[in-house]
Amino acid sequence: MLHSALINVMVKAARRAGRSLKRDLGEVENLQVSLKGPANFVSLADKRAEQMLLEDLTKARPGYGFIGEEGGVRAGDDKTHTWIVDPLDGTTNFLHGIPQFAISIGLQREGTIIAGLIYNPANDDLYIAERGKGAFLNDQRLRVAGRRKLGECVIACGLPHIGRGDHDLSRLEMTEIQNKVAGLRRFGAAALDMAFIAAGRLDGYWERNLQPWDMAAGQIIVREAGGIVSGIEGDDDPLKTGNVVCGNEFIHAELVKILKPLGK
């Protein structure tokens, strides 16, 4: 399939960093049996992947700014464009050898995400989207699921880690949703949860306390697949609030109706 020059740049960068992560996943599996486990190794793998993405993206688009989970903010000469990159989303999964993790690359132009890529090197699933051009998984056009009844839906959430977020609120949210849906899931990689929404595998997803790089690519991929993405207020910007709800228009609205009052 023919992609734009921009998408080609993103795909090439993601595939190189992805090869590195996939090699490192093999080593992680070996290190599980060691006393200290693979934590230090994973931290290096993460940084190495971000360095590759920074190199490739900056080489192809020298002026663009770059915000990466590992390296923070680097300003570019072109103040209108910024890459928003998570080199390894689903770090805990990766650390445990669970093949549910991804590279996430979003491109922001004047405050709007105009292109996104999510790539899981473990199974080679590559999701891309560009504004107005649709969303694709391995060149297959994506469309969000069509279910309208929550009772038939599989919904994913995130769970705050130890020492983070509001655990009581999280349990309250899960209790409310669990009572109304066909299945509740927690996969542990926000970018892939959003990619699964775009692919119609999941009907809905919500999570609090995320970072822009967790959601930048996912946001455009879901929207280009016909889905709705907002914060938990229903009309707020997830990249600003750090809270996200997504699904088709009906399930998104149902989730907001349940979740919004709980956070008050």
Q: At its nearest, how many Å lie between ligand 2AM and the CB of residue 211?
A: 5
Ranges of H-type helices in 183-241? 190-198, 212-224, 238-241
Q: Is 218 one of the binding residues for ligand 2AM (CB under 6 A)?
A: no
Question: What are the DSSP E strand ranges found in the chain?
Answer: 64-68, 72-74, 78-89, 102-109, 112-120, 125-130, 135-137, 140-141, 154-157, 183-185, 204-207, 228-230, 244-247
What residue is closest to ligand 2AM based on CB?
Answer: 190
Element (H, E) at 31: helix 5-31
Q: Is 91 one of the binding residues for ligand 2AM (CB under 6 A)?
A: yes
Looking at the DSSP bridge assignments, the partners of residue 74 are 66
Q: Is 86 one of the binding residues for Ca ion (CB under 5 A)?
A: yes
Number of other residues whose CB lies within 10 A of the CB of residue 79: 11
3-state helix, strand, coil in the chain (%, to 5): 40, 25, 35
Stretch that binds ligand 2AM, among 112-120, 157-165, 166-174, 232-240 (CB under 6 A): 157-165
Q: Is 214 one of the binding residues for Ca ion (CB under 5 A)?
A: yes
Stretch that binds Ca ion, among 29-37, 79-87, 144-152, 163-171 (CB under 5 A): 79-87
* 196, 201, 203, 205: CA torsion to nearest 10: -30
Number of other residues whose CB lies within 10 A of the CB of residue 107: 27
Which residues inside 100-119 make contact with ligand 2AM, applying CB under 6 A?
none
Sole binder of ligand 2AM in the list 158, 212, 218, 227 (CB under 6 A): 158
Q: Is 210 one of the binding residues for ligand 2AM (CB under 6 A)?
A: yes
Sole binder of ligand 2AM in the list 24, 70, 173, 214 (CB under 6 A): 214
Stretch that binds ligand 2AM, among 32-40, 84-92, 137-145, 233-241 (CB under 6 A): 84-92
Interface with ligand 2AM (CB under 6 A) = 69, 86, 89-91, 158, 161, 164, 188-190, 210-211, 214
